[in-house]
């Protein structure tokens, strides 16, 4: 599956169906239906036997869900009131195009707010919260809006995959479809130990899918493949940039969900050096991901996180460098085969 295809699929937390079915189909094509399952939470788990029965059992996790919105109600004028699904900065939302619902019945919409001409000077000093924004689908009244987009309807950003600049692409949902894309590629690896490739659900609302998957699999080693914040813009000091586009895969020593097992962290860096894979160490303790549930499930697991730097993460227009995507794949591949 191409990166463009998987990024453009809709799938907010808890409503990952289009992404899940596309991933399931490709996993079955590569490994056979007997080795691929969808658990009760909606995670896709693809198992591959290793060539060495004494090698550690590895779980790799990449989450299918993206941040987005959900319909709460409609106003008398036919505008949709919405809430956020996942962490979204309301400053990036006004005037952005969205798709309301999934599939052929999805509606075009735009996120709106009070016109700038009607705002007072005091209004313009404050960021409008999502509770004061709305989605306009062109409905004439409340009845039409509720008929077309009832409460609970998922909303995703409408941002097409756009290559630009030097090896860069812009699209929605790079967090974490870059890792889903690489996890599908890794299914072809000659893995040394038994390996479970897990495409998790509901990561953006608390890594809920990974909780059950890690408990079920109980791996010796858990590797989370992620897209992470790159703050490498403007005059931001280098130490505050978290990671930088174009410098390779970011290896995390710690975030708010887990602490990398020291020997595994050093082994990742050594493997990257030996394989000639461009890499960097993440320079800030921020965010969380599926490594947390893997580290804490049952008797625990050694964990590490390999991330693709992404600018403007959790926004309608996220940017990554395709060389970093390849670096994440190459380092994970070298680790699994070694």
Which residues carry out catalysis? 203
CA of residue 235 relative to chain centroid, distance:
27
Distance CA(19)–CA(299), nearest Å, equals 31
Give, for 184, the enclosing helix (H) or strand (E).
helix 174-186
- Evaluate the CA torsion angle 62, 66, 67, 72 in order and state its sign: negative
Beta-carbon count within 10 A of 328 CB: 30
DSSP SS3 for 260: coil
Distance CA(93)–CA(172), nearest Å, equals 13
Tokens 């009845």 identify what position?
143
Name the strands in the sheet holding 318-321, side by side, starting at the edge strand that comes first in the sequence: 162-164, 168-171, 318-321
For residue 188, give both structure tokens: 């072809």
Beta-carbon count within 10 A of 269 CB: 16
Tokens 């596309």 identify what position?
22
Distance CA(44)–CA(29), nearest Å, equals 14
Phi-psi label, residue 129: left if phi above 0, alpha if psi -120 to 50, beta otherwise? beta
Which residues neighbour 61 within 8 Å (Cβ) at sequence distance 6 or greater? 198, 199, 200, 210, 213, 214, 222, 223, 224, 225, 290, 291, 294
Distance CA(306)–CA(291), nearest Å, equals 10
């Amino acid at each position: 599956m191409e990166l463009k295809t998987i990024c453009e699929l809709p799938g907010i937390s808890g409503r990952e169906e289009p992404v899940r079915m596309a991933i399931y189909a490709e996993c079955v094509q590569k490994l056979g239906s007997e080795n691929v399952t969808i658990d009760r939470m909606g995670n896709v788990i693809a198992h591959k036997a290793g060539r060495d029965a004494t090698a550690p059992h590895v779980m790799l996790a990449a989450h299918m869900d993206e941040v987005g919105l959900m319909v709460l109600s409609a106003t008398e004028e036919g505008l949709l009131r919405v809430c956020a699904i996942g962490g979204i900065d309301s400053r990036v939302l006004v005037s952005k195009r969205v798709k309301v619902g999934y599939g052929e019945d999805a509606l075009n919409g735009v996120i709106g707010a009070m016109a700038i001409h009607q705002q007072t000077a005091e209004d313009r000093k404050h960021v409008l919260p999502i509770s004061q924004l709305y989605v306009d689908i062109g409905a004439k009244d409340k009845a039409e809006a509720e008929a077309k987009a009832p409460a609970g309807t998922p909303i995703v950003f409408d941002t097409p995959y756009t290559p630009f600049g030097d090896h860069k692409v812009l699209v929605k949902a790079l967090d974490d479809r870059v890792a889903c894309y690489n996890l599908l590629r890794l299914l072809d690896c000659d893995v040394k130990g038994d390996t479970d490739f897990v495409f998790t659900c509901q990561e953006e609302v608390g890594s809920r899918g990974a909780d059950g998957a890690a408990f079920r699999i109980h791996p010796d080693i858990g590797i989370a493949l992620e897209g992470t914040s790159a703050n490498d813009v403007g005059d931001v000091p280098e130490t505050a940039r978290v990671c930088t586009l174009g410098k390779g895969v970011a290896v995390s020593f710690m975030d708010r969900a887990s602490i990398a097992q020291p020997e595994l962290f050093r082994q990742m860096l050594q493997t990257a050096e030996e394989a000639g894979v461009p890499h960097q160490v993440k320079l800030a303790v921020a965010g969380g991901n599926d490594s947390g549930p893997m580290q804490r499930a049952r008797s625990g697991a050694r964990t590490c996180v390999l991330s693709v730097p992404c600018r403007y993460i959790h926004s309608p227009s996220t940017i990554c460098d395709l060389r970093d995507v390849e670096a994440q794949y190459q380092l994970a591949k070298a680790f699994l085969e070694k």
